[in-house]
C-alpha cells in the first residue's frame, strides 16, 4: 500500500461508517472549513428535530401521568385550511382559562361543551378526552430526521477531524 503524500500511514482514509452516511453528499467537506460548516449545519438541524421530539414526548408524558378531565366550551371552531383548531374556555377545572385544541377528533361547533384532558401545571397543554394521547403522525414527521441526523453528525465529525489531520499532518516520527 502506498502512503499518503505526507508520509503517514493510510489510516487517514475515510472509515466505512463515514463513507456510508456521507456518501450521498459528494463534494462537500473537501476542506476543513467546508467539513466544519457541514458539521455545524447538520448538528443544528439534528438538534432542532431532537428538541421537537423531546418536547412532544414531554407534553404527552405529562398528559398521560398527571392529566385531568375537564369540560370546556368551544368559543370558535375552525375547520378551514390545513389544520383544524378549536378555541376553548374551561368551564370546570381551571375555570376561565382559554386554550386551543389542535386537530380535534370530533367536529363541535361554537357553543358546544366538550371534555378535554389537560395538564394541571400547564392548562394550555391539552387534548380532547377521547383523542389518543400519542399522535403518531407528529412522530413520523420528526423522528426520521432526528435519527438520520444522529447518524450523520458522528460521520460529519469524523470527516471534519480527518480533514484537520490532512491539513496539519503530524511531524514525522524519528526512529532511534
pLDDT of residue 23: 62
Which residue matches cell numbers 407534553? 59
Give the pLDDT means over successive 10-residue stretches in the chain (176 positions).
48 73 61 77 84 82 88 89 85 90 85 91 87 73 80 84 82 79
Among residues 164, 141, 142, 168, which one has the least CA distance to residue 39? 164
Please check whether residue 109 lies inside any domain of the structure.
yes
User: Is position 6 within any domain?
Assistant: no
Q: How many CB atoms lie within 10 A of CB 117?
A: 18
The pLDDT, as a whole number, for residue 4 is: 47
**Predicted local confidence at residue 24, as pLDDT:** 55
Report the C-alpha dihedral over residues 39, 44, 45, 47, rounded to 10 degrees. 120
* 176 lies in some domain: no
User: Are residues 88 and 39 part of one domain?
Assistant: no
**115: CATH:** 2.40.50
* Residue 49 lies in domain: 12-57+137-167
Q: What is the pLDDT of residue 172?
A: 80
Runs of H (alpha helix) within the chain: 16-22, 32-66, 136-167
Considering the domain architecture, whether residues 44 and 99 belong to the same structural domain is answered as: no
Within a 13 Å sphere around the CA of 17, how many CA atoms are in the beta-carbon half? 10
Amino acid at each position: 500500500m502506498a502512503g499518503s503524500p505526507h508520509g503517514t500511514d493510510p489510516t487517514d482514509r475515510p472509515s466505512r461508517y463515514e463513507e456510508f452516511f456521507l456518501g450521498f453528499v459528494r463534494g462537500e467537506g473537501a476542506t476543513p472549513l467546508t467539513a466544519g460548516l457541514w458539521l455545524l449545519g447538520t448538528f443544528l438541524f439534528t438538534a432542532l428535530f431532537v428538541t421537537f421530539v423531546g418536547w412532544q414526548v414531554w407534553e404527552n408524558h405529562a398528559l398521560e401521568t398527571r392529566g385531568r378531565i375537564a369540560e370546556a366550551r368551544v368559543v370558535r371552531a375552525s375547520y378551514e385550511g390545513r389544520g383544524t383548531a378549536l378555541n376553548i374556555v374551561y368551564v370546570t377545572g381551571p375555570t376561565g382559562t382559554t386554550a386551543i385544541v389542535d386537530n380535534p377528533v370530533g367536529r363541535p361547533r361554537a357553543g358546544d361543551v366538550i371534555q378535554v384532558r389537560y395538564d394541571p401545571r400547564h392548562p394550555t397543554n391539552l387534548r380532547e378526552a377521547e383523542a389518543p394521547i400519542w399522535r403518531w403522525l407528529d412522530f413520523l414527521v420528526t423522528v426520521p430526521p432526528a435519527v438520520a441526523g444522529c447518524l450523520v453528525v458522528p460521520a460529519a465529525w469524523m470527516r471534519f477531524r480527518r480533514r484537520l489531520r490532512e491539513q496539519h499532518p503530524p511531524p514525522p516520527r524519528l526512529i532511534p
